[in-house]
Structure 1
Amino acid sequence: LKRKHAKQGYLDGLSRAKEESLQEGFDEGYRIGATLGAMVGEVLMSLTILLNASKIDKNTYDTAVDELNIKTVLQTNHFDSKLNIADESQHPIIKKWSGICEDLK
C-alpha cells in the first residue's frame, strides 16, 4: 500500500510538473506571437497606405503580404532551439518590410 501511494504521488508530481511547464511555454509563446502579430499588422497597414499613395505597386504589396504571412513569420528558422527570439524587432522578415516602409515614407 505504501509503495502504491508513493508511486501515485510520483506520477501526480510528474503530471503536475508537465502541466506547469506546458503552461509556461504557452504563456511565453503567446507573448512572442502576439508581439510579432502586432508588428506585422503595423507593417501591413503602412504598406496599404503606401499602395494607396502609389508609392509601391501591387506586385510589391502582394510579395510583402506573402512574406508576412503568419506561417512564414513563425517558421522555426527565425527562432533559437527553444523557439525564442532575442528581439522581436530584429525578426528578419518584419525588419525587411518595416525598413522598406520607413524608406518610402
Structure 2
Amino acid sequence: MLRDTPPLHTPGLDFALPLTIPGSPPPNNQLDDIFGSSPSSPAEGVPPTNASTEPSDIPRLRSIHVTAGYRDGIASAKAAAVQAGFDEGFALGAALGLRAGAVLGVLEGCVSGVSGGARNEHGGQDRMEACEEARALLGSAREQLGVGSVMGRDWFDDDGVWMFAVEGADVTFAEVADAHPLVKRWTSVVEALAKRWRVDLDVLGEEEADGEGATTADV
C-alpha cells in the first residue's frame, strides 16, 4: 500500500523528501504555531512596494514654498513695473493737464471779462449774449476736460497706451497731449473765440511742465 512506501531518498542529501499525494492537504508544519507561516512570494509581474516613498509632509512643504515664491515674484515684478508706469503716466498726465488747464483758464478769463462788461450800463445785448455763450462753453469744457474724460477708455487702453493717432515715430509727451482729440477740439474752440473777441493769447506765455519735452522712449 502507498502508506507503506518508504520515503524517497535523494542521493547526496542527508534528509528524505516526503511523498506528497496530489489532492491531499499540505503537510502540517508543527513549527507554524511558534514562528508563524512564511509569507507567500509576491505574484509574478507585480512590482514590489517602493520603500523610499516620500513622507506625507514633503508635498505640503513643497506647495507652501512654491506659493511663497510665486508671491515674492509678483511683488518684485510690481515694484519694477509700477515705478516705470508711474514715471510715464505722470509725465503724460502733466502734459495733458497743462493743455486742459490752459483751455479752462482762458474760458474762465473770458467769462469774467464779459460778465463785467455785461453788468456795465453800456454793455448792451451783445455783451449779455457773449456772457451766456462763454458760460456755456466753460461748463462744457469742465465736463469734457475732466480727468475721467481725458484719461478714459475711449482714448487709452488698459495698459495706458493712447489709442488716437499721433504723427511721428519718436514723439514727445507734449505732442501726444496736443494730439488728444478732446484737447485738440477745445484748443480750436478757444482760439476761434479769442480771435472773435480779439483776445491776445500770446500774452499768456507758454509754460513747460517738467519732463514735458522728454520723448516717450526716455521714460
TM-score, normalized by length of structure 1? 0.76
Give the CA deviation at 1:49.
2.0
**Distance of 2:192 and 2:105 partners within structure 1:** 15
**In structure 1, what is the equivalent of residue 22 of structure 2?**
none
User: Between Structure 1 and Structure 2, which shows a larger proportion of helix residues?
Assistant: 1
Q: Is the 8 A contact 1:40 1:68 kept in 2?
A: yes
Unaligned runs of 5+ in 2: 1-61, 115-129, 167-175, 195-219
- Percent of aligned positions that are identical: 32
Give the CA deviation at 1:14.
5.3
Count of aligned pairs between the two proteins = 101
Q: Is the 8 A contact 2:103 2:186 kept in 1?
A: yes
**In structure 1, what is the equivalent of residue 107 of structure 2?**
47
**In structure 1, what is the equivalent of residue 54 of structure 2?**
none
**Distance of 1:70 and 1:11 partners within structure 2:** 33
Larger CA Rg, structure 1 vs 2: 2
**Distance of 1:95 and 1:33 partners within structure 2:** 16
Which is bigger in relative contact order (C-alpha 8 A, separation at least 6)?
1
Query: Superposition RMSD on alpha carbons, in Å?
Result: 2.4
The one-letter code sitting in structure 1 at the alignment partner of 2:149 is T
Unaligned runs of 5+ in 1: none
Q: Is the 8 A contact 1:51 1:57 kept in 2?
A: yes
Give deviations 1:48-83, integer Å, cap 9, x for gaps.
122234354312211111111111111021124531
TM-score, normalized by length of structure 2? 0.40
